[in-house]
A = this chain, B = another copy of it.
Amino acid sequence: MSVLSRFQQGDFRALSRIISFVENRKDGYRELLGNLYRQSGRAIRIGVTGPPGAGKSTLVNRLAHTYFAGGSKVGIVAVDPTSPFTGGALLGDRVRMNEFEPGSGVFFRSMATRGASGGLASSTDNVAIVLDAFGFDVVLIETVGVGQVELDIVDACDVVLVVVVPESGDSVQTMKAGLMEIADIMVVNKADRPGSDKIISELNTTMQMRQPADSDWAVPVVATVAIKNENIDVLCGRLTEYLDFKREAGVFEEERRRRIEKKILAILINRFHDEFVDRLTQQVEFEQYVDETYQGKSSPYDIADELYRRFSGKQL
Question: Does A92 touch B at the CB level, under 8 Å?
Answer: yes
Q: In the assembled complex, which residues on chain B have CB atoms less than 8 Å from the CB atom of A308?
A: 268, 271-272
* Residues of A274-299 whose CB lies within 8 A of B: 275-277, 279-281, 283, 286, 289-290, 293-294, 296, 299
Given A30-B301, A304-B271, answer yes or no on A177-B87 (Cβ-Cβ < 8 Å).
yes
For chain A, what secondary structure do more than half of its interface residues adopt (helix, strand, loop), or is it mixed?
helix
Nearest chain B residue, comparing its CB with the CB of A279: B316
A275 to B315, CA, bound (A): 10
Question: Does A261 touch B at the CB level, under 8 Å?
Answer: yes
Given A92-B171, A304-B271, A311-B316, answer yes or no on A265-B290 (Cβ-Cβ < 8 Å).
no
Q: In the assembled complex, which residues on chain B have CB atoms less than 8 Å from the CB atom of A294?
A: 253, 256-257, 260
Q: In the assembled complex, which residues on chain B have CB atoms less than 8 Å from the CB atom of A301?
A: 30-31, 33-34, 37, 267
A269 to B275, CA, bound (A): 12
Q: In the assembled complex, which residues on chain B have CB atoms less than 8 Å from the CB atom of A86?
A: 174-175, 177-178
Q: Are A264 and B118 in contact (CB under 8 A)?
A: no
Question: Does A41 touch B at the CB level, under 8 Å?
Answer: yes
Closest CB in chain B relative to A157 CB, distance in Å: 14
Q: Are B314 and A84 in contact (CB under 8 A)?
A: no
Given A33-B299, A178-B84, answer yes or no on A280-B304 (Cβ-Cβ < 8 Å).
no
Question: Does A114 touch B at the CB level, under 8 Å?
Answer: no
- Give 17 new A-B contacts, CB below 8 A, not counting A264-B289, A269-B273, A313-B314: A33-B301, A34-B305, A41-B296, A84-B151, A85-B147, A86-B177, A86-B178, A87-B178, A264-B304, A265-B277, A268-B307, A268-B308, A271-B304, A272-B308, A276-B316, A311-B315, A313-B313
A contact residues vs B (CB 8 Å cutoff): 30-31, 33-35, 37-38, 41, 51, 81, 83-87, 89, 91-92, 117-118, 146-151, 170-171, 174-175, 177-179, 181-182, 253, 256-257, 260-261, 263-265, 267-269, 271-273, 275-277, 279-281, 283, 286, 289-290, 293-294, 296, 299-305, 307-308, 310-316
A311 to B315, CA, bound (A): 6
Q: Are B307 and A264 in contact (CB under 8 A)?
A: yes
Closest CB in chain B relative to A154 CB, distance in Å: 9
Q: Are B293 and A265 in contact (CB under 8 A)?
A: no
Nearest chain B residue, comparing its CB with the CB of A180: B87
